Chain A
Amino acid sequence: ELKVEQNPLFLSMQEGKNYTIYCNYSTTSDRLYWYRQDPGKSLESLFVLLSNGAVKQEGRLMASLDTKARLSTLHITAAVHDLSATYFCAVDINQGAQKLVFGQGTRLTINP
């Protein structure tokens, strides 16, 4: 059974600092997704990573995928308060259906 683990689960940081969220998964997959969720809201797609070595950047967020290590990272540069949210990674096991297995989420709080 595929397991997806994120760490840390909770992260409190100050504006202007850099940090990285890690996502490890237990079985082979070459599709990994990052989502953002604000309290009481749905999931907002951030990145779709489809191959080993894929790197994508949007604003202060950058995501990468290492399929050999079964590891993805979400790096936050010079954090701002607006990035406070819960971040999920999800792995697609793609057994004829697009079944996403999500991590537990990382609750990120950015303090002024």
Chain B
Amino acid sequence: DAGVTQSPTHLIKTRGQHVTLRCSPISGHKSVSWYQQVLGQGPQFIFQYYEKEERGRGNFPDRFSARQFPNYSSELNVNALLLGDSALYLCASNVTPLGNEQYFGPGTRLTVT
């Protein structure tokens, strides 16, 4: 079975631009979470979605938004990119929001110049 997939793998953007990152959960998983991992730090929770509804939001500015589609895939959007947004963005899927384990995808490495 395929695991969590994310695209693109790497991305380079300029300050002020917009970016969209994509995630497809494991088949049968209905919950998707997004995390940001800055180099040298632990991941930080951004959003969790379940059945297309936002279930949780971390301490991130409104420039960050996300949505989940009927097929449970998800997009993370970041507007007005800052240098500090450079990070590895990880998507995790779970059967339900309160399931015992999240399964992480390979991540998207975003570099903002």
Contacts and interface: CB of A to CB of B under 8 A. Distances in A.
Interface of A: 4, 31, 33, 35, 40-45, 48, 50, 88, 90, 94-105
Given A50-B100, A98-B31, A98-B33, A42 B107 contact: yes
The 3 closest A-B pairs by CB, nearest first: A97-B56, A102-B42, A97-B55
A100 B98 contact: no
Interface in B77-99: 90, 94, 97-99
A104 B41 contact: yes
B interface residue count range (under 10 / 10 to 19 / 20 to 34 / 35 or more): 20 to 34
Nearest to B31: A98
B100 A48 contact: yes
B43 A100 contact: yes
A104 B97 CA distance: 24
Interface of B: 31, 33, 35, 41-45, 48, 50, 55-56, 58, 90, 94, 97-107, 109
Given A41-B106, A50-B100, A96-B56, A102 B44 contact: yes
Contacts of B44: 102
B42 A97 contact: no
Given A43-B43, A102-B42, A105-B41, A97 B104 contact: no
A43 B104 contact: yes
Contact of B42 (A31, A42, A95, A104): A104
Contacts of B42: 4, 88, 90, 102-105
B56 A99 contact: yes
Contacts of A4: 42
B58 A42 contact: no
